[in-house]
């Protein structure tokens, strides 16, 4: 398992993809599975709601799966107090 940073171009994109990974050429070639956890852009009301409830909506996406299908846009609830994800 490896973690990677996004490059600066990912800030401009709505949804990150493999080209936004730092040193993405070798990662795309060598990795069997590439997964992303990301947040949608939020307005001030949404940020306040997250701070009040301690719950964030996170998008989980499998961008590459050499042994199966890739799924786009599964939304999960992340609870920071317990560090857990729920569907």
**Beta-strand pair 74-79/55-65:** antiparallel
| b/e code 6-34 from CB counts within 10 Å (16+ = b) | beeebeeeeebeeebbeebeeeeeebeeb
pLDDT band at 70 (very low <50, low <70, confident <90, very high): confident
- CA 50, CA 56: separation in Å to the nearest integer? 6
Residues near 87 by beta carbon (within 8 Å), at least 6 away in sequence: 74, 76, 77
Single pTM value for the model: 0.69
The predicted-structure confidence for 35-62, as pLDDT tens digits, reads as follows 888 887 788 898 899 889 989 999 888 8
């Amino acid at each position: 398992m490896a973690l990677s940073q996004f490059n600066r171009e990912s800030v401009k994109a709505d949804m990150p993809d493999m080209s936004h990974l730092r040193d993405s050429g070798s990662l795309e070639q060598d990795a069997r599975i590439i997964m992303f956890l990301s947040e949608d852009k939020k307005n001030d009301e949404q940020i306040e709601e997250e701070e009040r409830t301690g719950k964030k909506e996170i998008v989980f996406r499998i961008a590459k799966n050499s042994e199966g299908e890739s799924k786009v846009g599964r939304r999960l609830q992340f609870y920071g107090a317990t560090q857990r994800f729920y569907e």
